[in-house]
Amino acid sequence: MGCKDYRDLIAWQKAMELVESVYSATKDFPREEVYALTSQLRRAAVSVPSNIAEGQGRTSSKEFLKFLSIAHGSVRELETQIIISGRLGYLTTDRVEAILNMSAEVGRLINGLSNSLLRRNKS
Mean pLDDT, residues 103-121: 96
Mean pLDDT value of segment 61-88 = 98
Q: CA separation (Å) from 98 to 21, 58, 66, 95, 121?
A: 9, 32, 28, 5, 35
Query: What is the pLDDT confidence band of residue 1, given thresholds at 50, 70 and 90?
Result: very low
Class of domain 6-122: mainly alpha
Note the pLDDT of residue 121.
84
Give every CB contact of residue 61 below 8 A, 6+ residues apart in sequence. Answer: 1, 117, 120, 121
Report pLDDT digits (tens) over 19-72. 999 999 999 999 999 999 999 999 999 999 999 999 999 999 999 999 999 999
pTM above the 0.85 mark? yes
Q: What is the DSSP letter of 7?
A: G
CA distance 71 to 120: 20
Mean per-residue pLDDT for 69-89? 98
